Amino acid sequence: MSWLAQGGRCRHCGGAIGWQPLVAEFAGAAIAATSFATLPVAPALLLTGVGWCLLLLALIDTAHGRLPDVLTLPLAVAAPLVAAFLPLPGLVTPLEGLVGALLGFALFWAIGRLYATWRGVEGLGLGDAKLLAAAGAWLGPMGLAPTILVAAITGLAAAWLSGRRRGGDAIAFGPFLALACWLLLLRQLAGF
């Protein structure tokens, strides 16, 4: 509201404020609205919190090309703990979460090392591996393939729409992993 009221300008210096804060606010509101429109209160609160963390990771990766450990690792650790102490319908068991996290990290770590060896440059960072580990922790090992598929399809669509059609154009993969994780967790908690 303030961004719109101030015409996208800082009230103190009058400098332009980009559109990114407005998009982030709308995305955060959409996460909460979708969660509470779809789920009972406890799972909606959980999905909103996970969604906001994933949104922050997506925004940081888009702006800086990094997925900070201070967000990815607690997100991965939280899943088995929540499943152990707050057994909600749709959550995987703590063991499934641990297996999913380990498999997710190992898969992207191995792909990243193979690509770096083959091409001589890093194509998939450890941040992506840690984010897939977090997705595996929430979705279990059976959720890894759908997460990668949804992330790959949305990432390819975004690259195509933005005109990045050459092989050398880098694109942050974290936002697409985050979106896929949130959508699949919503589906899992809602039971559809």
Query: What are the mean pLDDT values of the chain's consecutive 10-residue runs (192 residues total)?
Result: 81 86 92 97 97 97 94 97 91 96 96 88 87 98 97 92 70 95 96 84
Domain that holds residue 42: 19-190
The answer to whether 55 touches 25, Cβ cutoff 8 Å, is: no
Task: Please report whether residue 5 resides in a domain.
Answer: no
Task: Please report whether residue 85 resides in a domain.
Answer: yes
User: CB neighbours of 79 closer than 8 A, spacing ≥ 6?
Assistant: 91, 92, 97, 101, 134, 137, 138
Q: pTM value?
A: 0.90
Determine the Cα–Cα distance for residues 21 and 185; give it in Å rounded to an integer. 25
Find, among 45, 41, 55, 20, the residue nearest to 183 by Cα: 55
The pLDDT score that the predictor gives to residue 19 is 82
Residue 9, phi then psi, degrees to nearest 5: -125, 150
Task: Please report whether residue 8 resides in a domain.
Answer: no
Task: Copy the structure tokens of residue 52.
Answer: 């906001």
Determine the Cα–Cα distance for residues 105 and 128; give it in Å rounded to an integer. 8
Q: Is 38 exposed, middle or buried (0-12, 13-18, 19+ CB in 10 A)?
A: middle
Task: Please report whether residue 57 resides in a domain.
Answer: yes
The pLDDT score that the predictor gives to residue 105 is 97
**Span 119-130, pLDDT tens digits:** 887 778 899 999
Task: Please report whether residue 175 resides in a domain.
Answer: yes
CA distances from 15 to 2, 6, 7, 18, 74 (A): 14, 11, 11, 10, 36
The answer to whether 122 touches 67, Cβ cutoff 8 Å, is: no
Task: Please report whether residue 64 resides in a domain.
Answer: yes
The pLDDT score that the predictor gives to residue 4 is 79
The answer to whether 125 touches 135, Cβ cutoff 8 Å, is: no
- Please report, in angstroms and rounded to a whole number, the separation of the first and last CA atoms in the chain: 34
Task: Please report whether residue 12 resides in a domain.
Answer: no
The pLDDT score that the predictor gives to residue 125 is 82
The answer to whether 109 touches 81, Cβ cutoff 8 Å, is: no
Count up the domains in the chain and report the number. Answer: 1
CA distances from 66 to 60, 120, 152, 164, 182 (A): 6, 20, 18, 20, 19
Which residue in the block uniquely carries the two structure tokens 């191995």? 110
